[in-house]
Amino acid sequence: MADDIDDLLDEVETKYCPKDRRKGKETSSSIKSSHNASFKRKYYHELINLEDAIITSFILQPDVKPIKSNGYDARTETARKCYPIYVGGANCSCGMGTSMSQKTCDKMRCTSCDFKVVSFDNFEWTTDTDYLFLRNHAPDFQKLKSNLNSRKGYRAYCCQCSFRSIKELTQLKDPQLKWVCGKH
């Protein structure tokens, strides 16, 4: 590359520098070399900047794949979360749910109380269950069971602020529940 720059600069100099200046410089090699050195340095830096600009625009192109490590992490993160999130009764299988594999999420957490969502198969909540009860007893089954009625096919879900008794497989869409999949 250095040779190319030299050739280019010599050409530029021959074409655009006034003849008498060139003549003068030819007589003094020390002036010419110092002039050339600064001239080349200047253009060399401009070329480097140009290279940076080309590299930057290449990276910014939308069809260029993201840097491998970042892209990989982001995809794994999404791939391990249920979408959509399913909840269901005791007969529904648990695991990571997708639209192809409708499993109920067993890794939910509540973004409102910041607790894990627990579930108990073949139970439903009594009607007097409330926020205060859950706040004092969740997630300990031994403490919660006073408000759990045995009911076949149902599953009782709760965190420390909300609870639901569910029988059928359903997508979690209730706006009052701040439950999200906490990754599988």
Judge whether 80 and 184 are in contact, CB under 8 Å: yes
- Please tell me whether residue 177 binds Zn ion under the rule CB under 5 A: no
d(CA 66, CA 61): 10
Which listed residue (9, 17, 161, 169) binds Zn ion by CB under 5 A?
Answer: 161
Least CB distance to Zn ion at residue 92 (A): 13
Could you tell me which stretch among 19-27, 33-41, 55-63, 101-109 binds Zn ion (CB under 5 A)?
Answer: 101-109
82: contact with Zn ion by CB under 5 A: yes
Minimal distance, residue 53 CB to Zn ion, in Å: 45
Residues 6+ apart with CB under 8 A from 98: 82, 83
* Residue 181 is a binding residue for Zn ion (CB under 5 A): yes
Complex with Zn ion: residue 90 or 113, whichever CB lies closer: 113
94 binds Zn ion (CB under 5 A): no
| Listed residue (105, 79, 100) closest to 181, CA to CA | 105
Q: Which of residues 45 and 135 has its CB atom nearest to Zn ion in the complex?
A: 135
Q: Cα 4 to the chain's mean position, in Å?
A: 44
Place of tokens 């973004």: 111
| Choice between 107 and 137, CB closer to Zn ion | 107
- DSSP per position, 22-41: HHHHHH-HHHHHHHHHHHHH
Q: Out of 9, 17, 90, 113, which residue is the one contacting Zn ion (CB under 5 A)?
A: 113
Cα distance between residue 119 and residue 134, in whole Å: 13
User: Using CB under 5 A as the criterion, which residues of the chain lie in contact with Zn ion when the complex forms?
Assistant: 82, 105, 107, 110, 112-113, 159, 161-162, 181
